[in-house]
Amino acid sequence: MQDMNQPHRPDWDHFARVQASRQWRQQSAAMGRAATEAIVAEAQIEPGLTCLDVASGTGEPAISIATLMGNRGRVVATDISTQPLKIAAERAQQRGLTNIEFQPADVHALQFPDRSFDRVTSRLGIMFFADPARAFREIYRVLRPGGRASFLAWGPFFQPYFTTTIGTLMKELGVAELPASGAAMFKFSDPAELARQLEQAGFVQAEARLETLPWTWPGPPNDVWGYFQDVTAPFKPLMQSVPEEQRDKVEQAVCEAMKPYYDGEEIKFTALMVLASAIK
Mean pLDDT of the chain: 92
Instruction: Establish if 156 belongs to a structural domain.
Output: yes
**CATH classification of the domain holding 206:** 3.40.50.150
Helices (H), 115-218: 132-142, 160-162, 168-173, 180-183, 191-200
The pLDDT of residue 9 is: 53
Instruction: Establish if 2 belongs to a structural domain.
Output: no
d(CA 279, CA 43): 11
CB 68 within 8 A of CB 40: yes
Residues 178-197 have pLDDT tens digits of 988 899 999 999 999 999 99
Dihedral of the alpha carbons of 78, 149, 273, 180, in degrees to the nearest 10: 60
Instruction: Establish if 258 belongs to a structural domain.
Output: yes
The pLDDT of residue 69 is: 95
The pLDDT of residue 71 is: 84
CB 92 within 8 A of CB 65: no
Residues 248-277 have pLDDT tens digits of 999 999 999 999 999 999 999 999 999 999
Write out the residue range of the structural domain in which residue 271 sits: 15-279
Instruction: Establish if 52 belongs to a structural domain.
Output: yes
Instruction: Establish if 234 belongs to a structural domain.
Output: yes
Instruction: Establish if 93 belongs to a structural domain.
Output: yes
Q: 20 falls in which pLDDT band (50, 70, 90)?
A: low
**CB 192: neighbour CB atoms within 10 A?**
11
* Confidence check: pLDDT of 235 > 50: yes
Residues 49-101 have pLDDT tens digits of 999 999 999 999 999 999 999 989 999 999 999 988 999 999 999 999 999 99
Instruction: Establish if 10 belongs to a structural domain.
Output: no
**Total structural domains within the chain:** 1
Amino acid at 136: F
